[in-house]
Amino acid sequence: MNIIRKLAGRLTGKSLSAPTDFERRLLGIRVTAAGISVTPRNAMNCVPVRCAVQVIAEAIGQLPVQTYHRNDEGDKERSDEHPAHNLLRRSVNNFIPASEFREMVTRDALLWGNGYAVILRDGDNKPVELNRLQPDKVRIIIDETTQEPSYEYEFEGTKAVYNLEDIIHIRAPTFDGITGESPIEAAKEAIAFALALEKHGSVLFRNSAQPGGVIEHPGKMGDDAANRMADSWQKANGGDNAGGVAVLEEGSTFKQIGMSNTDAQFLELRRYCVEEIGRAFRVPPIFLNDYGRATWSNNEQQGSQLVTYCLMSWIKRWEGEIMLKLFSEEERDEWFAEFLTDDLLRADTAKRMAAYAVAITSRIMNPNECRARENLPAYEGGDEYVNPNTTSDTAVAAMLDDKKPQTDSELHERN
């Protein structure tokens, strides 16, 4: 009973992220109605799942993360002076780029419900390195007095316990505020159905998409004749020989069984699986390469929906963990980090230029700020907030001249 009690403890909401297949069988945890046990690893064999996971994880990985510092006026300014800047923009350690690290941890959260990374600090308690932890090797321990979690990590016979402030923990949607429930667990029936349908299709098309049939005999067939006919049929139609000609004996006839509605609607069922799995991950169909209902007018709208209703929740989880774990309590009033989503929301060139023109004439942005968004160098005079439709080049030059340092004689002449 000790082993059962131990495993039962591991499977509570305050413990391991996902049980193994052995633990499922031992504790009688139900597999799916399709008879397939869906795990984070075999779920990635389902193409819509892999596509949805990669869309979200790769988007989080490719988005740049910028550290900001608030000045005395309360305005935010980009700054690379905090140690977290290098961890978020360049690399988290000597061998993993920051973008790949965020992609891996996000993928862990999507598949296991939880993504973990340990923070290594220097003598001044500043973060200097981040290392990913395998999610199925982490056990969350809850302090009975404070209810604060700590993290036990066991890997290759070595066990370590980390405090809350030393672990970046990215959760999928959670019910208890401690561990997340992955979309894989929530949509396991749909994923199992897709896997079963894939297997059924493979078997169906292995036989050249021909359904089975029966051999009818008018009387009683002898064993020798039955064996010869079975061998002949297998050689003519088995495996790669599907569609061959078989010899029937003693007046036997072949009667084909008609294709079932399930087989006839194979493509419709596969499309249903794609849509259902996409709903679980909140990924629009076009990002799962389903263009059946896509039009030129709604593609851009679906891209905006992906950012707003899917990626933004993951972005906020990351920004919250970065704020709590990479910045000290004293620094949080002045330092913070944000994901820059402009690249994902970029319209085509004509629309961007039109938007920049409105921003400049309305004095919302200056020309150099617009050029920076297009990765173009600044030019002299581009930092001024002027309306080019109402301000002449001479007036702009005078404004710049007023800002130049002047000698005593020049000041005397002007006065």
Query: What DSSP line would sit under 116-165, residue for residue?
Result: EEEEEE-TTS-EEEEEEE-GGGEEEEE-TTT--EEEEEEETTEEEEE-GG
Alpha-carbon gap, residue 195 to 33, rounded angstroms: 12
pLDDT at 11: 43
**pLDDT tens digits, the chain, 415 residues: what are they?**
444 444 444 444 444 444 555 555 444 344 787 788 889 999 999 999 999 999 999 999 999 999 999 988 888 888 999 999 999 999 999 999 999 999 999 999 999 999 999 999 999 999 999 999 999 999 999 999 999 999 999 988 899 999 999 999 999 999 998 999 999 998 999 999 999 888 877 776 665 555 566 667 677 767 777 777 777 767 666 555 555 566 666 666 766 665 555 556 777 888 889 999 999 999 988 888 877 666 656 666 777 788 889 999 999 999 999 999 999 999 999 999 999 887 777 666 777 888 999 999 999 999 999 998 887 888 888 898 887 777 655 555 555 555 454 444 544 454 4
Output the six-digit token pair for 303: 């891209």
pTM tops 0.85, yes or no:
no
3-state helix, strand, coil in the chain (%, to 5): 50, 15, 35
> Would you call 312 helix, strand, or coil by DSSP?
helix
Could you give phi then psi for residue 322, rounded to 5 degrees? -60, -45
pLDDT at 115: 98
- Pairing, β 253-256 against β 149-155: unpaired
Alpha-carbon gap, residue 386 to 362, rounded angstroms: 8
pLDDT at 71: 87
